[in-house]
Amino acid sequence: MAVSIFPKSINTIRVIAAVVGLGGASSVVGGMWYYFTPKYWSVGYQPTQPGGGFNHQIHAGKLGLDCRYCHTKIEQSDEANIPNVATCYGCHADGRLAKLVDPSPTNTHKGKTQFIRDAFAVDASIEWRRVHKVPDYVRNFPHAAHLKVGVSCVSCHGRIDTMPVVYQHEPLSMSWCLDCHKSGKENLVDPSRVTDLAYAEETLRERQKVRSETGSSQGTLGDTKIPAFHVQGPTNCGACHY
């Protein structure tokens, strides 16, 4: 007659251990899947800027400056150039522009922009801290090509005209880029209005609403002046990577 060395309860312990182990492994994989991604680490990135930062809410929002007034090369270049000090000084040379923002006697805006005049006086650059940056193993994001076909600034940067201090609105990850490239015209707007962020946001929101209600947004694509040719971004590795 065989003698059992271990009690039958050992079988239960093995099952429990297997379940706990599987659950732990799943938690680790799931945690890494989310927490080790740009969506967690990059979205919301907001570095401290010189002078308290360039207030897009005032400049692009309240005063209505077009993005291209400062980022002058975005329609011809890959890079969205940062304006030089002379561009800033052109508006802030004597602080009178502050009265357009706040005419009250307690307005302190002139003092906040003194760092611009100080830099201009000694021909120095302002050390703005970059917010949006793709990894070094990725080619520069070609702003000119995207704007030409109707990719609005709002698609990558969000409603930057409502941000007192700029922060990263989207993950800029590979999967995020590929989702947009595969969508064809779904994320495009009238190329002549790509810097009109309110229009672009409303257009894309309405299109998404129609798509969620009907399963297709084709009926809304004709409402914009999207180029007639079929637009779909490249998905091959060499298009974005060296």
In a domain, 227, yes or no: yes
Q: Is 115 exposed, middle or buried (0-12, 13-18, 19+ CB in 10 A)?
A: middle
Same domain, yes or no, for 73 and 181? Answer: yes
Same domain as 164, residue 51: yes
Start-to-end C-alpha separation, the chain: 71
pTM comes to: 0.78
Q: What is the pLDDT of residues 106-142, one digit of tens each?
A: 666 678 888 999 999 999 999 999 999 998 899 888 9
Whether 167 and 216 map to the same domain: the answer is yes
pLDDT digits (tens, 9 = 90+) for 64-105: 999 999 999 999 988 889 999 999 999 888 766 666 666 676
pLDDT of residue 129: 93
Q: Which of 51, 48, 49 is nearest to 114 (CA)?
A: 51
Q: Is the pLDDT of residue 238 over 60?
A: yes
Q: Is residue 113 in a domain? A: no
Is the pLDDT assigned to residue 160 strictly greater than 90? Answer: yes
> pLDDT for 14-63, tens place per residue?
677 777 777 777 766 666 556 666 777 889 999 999 988 899 999 999 99
Comparing 33 with 169, which gets the higher pLDDT? 169
Phi and psi at 162, nearest 5°, equal -115, 5
Check residue 216 and give its pLDDT.
73
Residue 107 domain-assigned (yes or no) = no
Return the structure tokens found at 89. Answer: 């000084």
Q: Is the pLDDT of residue 144 over 90?
A: yes
The answer on pLDDT for 170 being more than 90 is yes
Task: Report which DSSP code applies to 72.
Answer: T
Helix (H, G, I), strand (E, B) or coil at 170: coil
Identify the DSSP state of 138: B
Considering the domain boundaries, does residue 179 fall inside one? yes
Q: What secondary structure does DSSP assign to 207-238, as a single string?
A: HHHHHHHHS--HHHHTTS---SS------SGG
Shared domain for 19 and 139, answered yes or no, is no
Asked if pLDDT for residue 6 goes beyond 70, the answer is no
Domain tally, the chain: 2
> What's the token pair of residue 178?
């590929």
- Residue 35 is assigned to a structural domain of this protein: yes
Do 182 and 196 share a domain, yes or no?
yes
Same domain, 170 and 139: yes
Query: What letter does residue 176 receive in the DSSP assignment?
Result: H
Are 197 and 141 contained in the same domain? yes
On whether residue 198 sits in a domain, the answer given is yes
Question: Does 20 share its domain with 62?
Answer: no
* Region 173-199 average pLDDT: 92
Of the two residues 51 and 231, the one the predictor is more confident about is 51
Residues 137, 175, single domain; the answer is yes
For residue 168, is it within any domain?
Answer: yes
Show the domain range for 189. 43-82+128-233
Residue 115 lies in a domain: no
The mean-pLDDT minimum among 36-50, 62-76, 177-191, 208-222 falls in 208-222
- Pick from 155, 126, 125: which is nearest to 143 by CA? 155
**Residue 18: what pLDDT?**
75
